Amino acid sequence: MKKLIAAFVISAISLPVLAEEVVISTGGRGGSYFSTGEKLGEILAEYDYPAKTLKSNGSIENIERVATGEATLGFTQLDALAWWMDRNPDGAANLKVLGNLYTECVYVAVNKKGAIGDEGDLQSSNANVAVQNRDSGSAVSWSYMQDLEPEFAKGNTFFKGGLQLLNEIANNPDGELNAFLWVSDPGNLDQRYLKTVLENDNLKLVDITDWDLNDKHPELGRAIYRFEKPDVAKGLVFDTELKTICMDAVVVANADADDVMLDDVVDVLTVNRGRLFDN
C-alpha cells in the first residue's frame, strides 16, 4: 500500500502544471479588435496557454471585464481607458497597460453648407453631433474631448450613427443633426464612413486641433491624444489635408494575471509584432 501511495504521489508531482485559461475580450465580429483578438489567442495557444476570445461591444466593456477579472486581457482606445479611470479610480488599480496595438484617429464629417464649418462651430450651441451608440468608442471619445475642452460640451450629443444618418447629413444641410463623429484606424483607407465622405460632394471633414486636447493624463503619465495628419485616400490629391487627434489602441491586462504570460504578450506586442499583424 505504501508503495502504491508513493507511486501515486510521484506520478502527481510529475504531471505538467496546466496554465490558467487566458480570456481575451475583443470586439464585434468583423472589427479590428475581434480579428486581432483571434490572432493573439492563436499565438498564446502556441505558447501553451489555453486561450479563448469573447465578443464585446468595444472598449468600455473590455475594460470592465478585465477590471473585474471576467477577462484576462482586453483591447481599448487609450481615451476610453482614461475616461473610465477618471470615473472609476478604485478600479484603475486592477489594470495594467501592456502595450500598443495600432493608431486610431477621430474623424468628424459635416455638410459643406451646414451650420458646422470648423472646429469652432463644434464648440458652440449650434453643434448637434451624432456619435453612434452610447457605449461606442466614438461616444467615449467625444465625452473625453469634452472633459479636456469643456467648450465641446456646449452643443448637443445624439447617440445615433450609421451610413443612413451620414447620408441624411449630406442631403440636408439644415437638418437636426449636423455633424457625425467616428473613430477608426487611419491605415484603413477603405473604411466605409471615410469613403462615403470623400465620394460625396456635399460632405467634408473638419480639422480637430484644439491644443487642450493634448493635456497629459495624471494616472497614465502621458497625453492621450496627439495631433496628426492622417492620409485620407490612396493616390488622390486634395486641396486641403486633414488635421486631427489620434491615439493608441492598447492592450490592458488584469493586474493579478500571471506575470510570465503577460511577459509573453508584451513580447508579441514588441519583438514579435509581425506575428500579430502579418497582413
Segment 150-197, tens digit of pLDDT: 999 999 999 999 999 999 999 999 999 999 999 988 988 888 899 999
Residue 123 sits in the same domain as residue 85: no
Q: Tell me: do 155 and 257 sit in the same domain.
A: no
Asked if 143 and 235 sit in the same domain, the reply is yes
**Domains in the chain, number:** 2
Is residue 109 within 8 Å of residue 205, measured between CB atoms?
yes
CATH, residue 45: 3.40.190.10
The pLDDT of residue 20: 81
The H-assigned helical ranges of 134-235 are 137-148, 163-171, 192-198
Q: Residues 132, 230: one domain?
A: yes
Domain match, 193 and 257 both: no
Residue 264 lies in a domain: yes
Does 98 share its domain with 108? no
| Cα–Cα distance measured from residue 226 to residue 138, given in angstroms and rounded to the nearest whole number | 17
Half-sphere exposure in the Cβ direction for 29 (13 Å, CA) = 0
Rg (CA), the chain: 22
Shared domain for 107 and 230, answered yes or no, is: yes
Residue range 21-31, pLDDT digits in tens = 999 999 988 78
Instruction: Say if 5 falls within a structural domain.
Output: no
Residue 263 resides in a domain: yes
Nearest CA to 79 out of 244, 193, 223 is that of 223
- My answer on whether 36 and 51 are in the same domain is yes
Examine the domain organization and report whether 111 and 229 are in the same domain. yes
pLDDT class of 219 with cuts at 50, 70, 90: confident
Residues 6 or more apart whose Cβ sits within 8 Å of residue 132? 138, 139, 159, 160, 161, 162, 181, 182
Kindly report the average pLDDT of the chain as a whole number.
Answer: 90
120 shares a domain with 59: no
Is residue 98 within 8 Å of residue 269, measured between CB atoms? yes
- Domain that residue 260 falls in: 20-102+251-276
